[in-house]
Amino acid sequence: MLSDVNIVKIAVLVSGNGSNLQALIDAQIGGDIPKGKIVMVLSSCSDAYALVRAQNAGIETAVVQRKNFTQGSQFDNAILTVLRQSEAEVVVLAGFMSILGSDIIDEFQNRIINVHPSLIPSFCGKGCYGIKVHRDVINSGVKVTGATVHFVNEIPDGGKIILQKAVDVAEDDTPETLQSKVMSQAEWIILPKATAQLCEKIYDDKISNSN
């Protein structure tokens, strides 16, 4: 299937360890993203372990660091250049710690997805990411949290929800144990699934338009 010219090209944007990227790579290897292929992994950090994961899987990598640009628009343009060169059709944010500007969002309208470690609209929005989310969940006393995959728009965590999966919060959970549970029980499941669904839609649209 991966030799099909209509296979949807995926770029994954990362900043850190890359566990969600690994879930995507494993899903691709296992045939769970049959109409998509990861062609580029772009990191905002030069020492992100996600780059090693990508290289081990034979995926092309690039580094674009915000600190190297005086303006956000320059940072966005550098990212856009990499995305265009890779011919990416879908952009997956998998632990990407920078906010994308309107130029990128407009060019990939309804083709950028993000995974957030809570059940949106709870514990989300500007400044709510990473371990802070899980700390806030525990401090609130709620008994259920989870993860959400959503389309990306110009409002942080404000795009249309694609998939959600709930995770129980145990009495003895710490932010760290809860983070691990949410990743393994939700994020690593719904991010590849949502990616596969989006790729299938784009693939089918391309087939329809070519007939």
- Assigned domain for 1 exists: no
DSSP 83-96: HHHHT-SEEEESS-
Tell me what the mean pLDDT of segment 172-196 comes to. 98
Average pLDDT over all residues of the chain: 95
Instruction: Provide the pairing of β-strand 144-151 with 161-168.
Output: antiparallel
Q: What domain count does the chain have?
A: 1
What pLDDT was estimated at residue 183? 97
Confidence of residue 1 (pLDDT cuts 50, 70, 90): very low
State whether residue 81 is helix, strand or coil. Answer: helix
Residue 173 pLDDT exceeds 70: yes
Tens of pLDDT, residues 37-51: 999 999 999 999 999
- Assigned domain for 2 exists: no
What is the value of pTM for the model shown?
0.95
- Assigned domain for 200 exists: yes
End-to-end CA distance of the chain: 19
Tens of pLDDT, residues 6-38: 899 999 999 999 999 999 999 999 999 999 999
Higher pLDDT, 91 or 209: 91
The domain spanning residue 110 has which CATH number? 3.40.50.170
What pLDDT was estimated at residue 3? 56
Sign of CA dihedral 137, 142, 147, 149: negative
Q: Are 147 and 118 in contact (CB under 8 A)?
A: yes
Half-sphere exposure of 79 (CA within 13 A, CB side): 30
Tell me what the mean pLDDT of segment 204-209 comes to. 89
Helices and strands, counts by H and E, the chain: 7, 7
State whether residue 129 is helix, strand or coil. Answer: coil
| Residues taking part in catalysis | 116
* Residue ranges of E strands in 15-172: 36-43, 60-63, 90-93, 112-116, 144-151, 161-168
- Parent domain of 96: 8-210
Tell me what the mean pLDDT of segment 144-150 comes to. 98
Residue 2 pLDDT exceeds 60: no
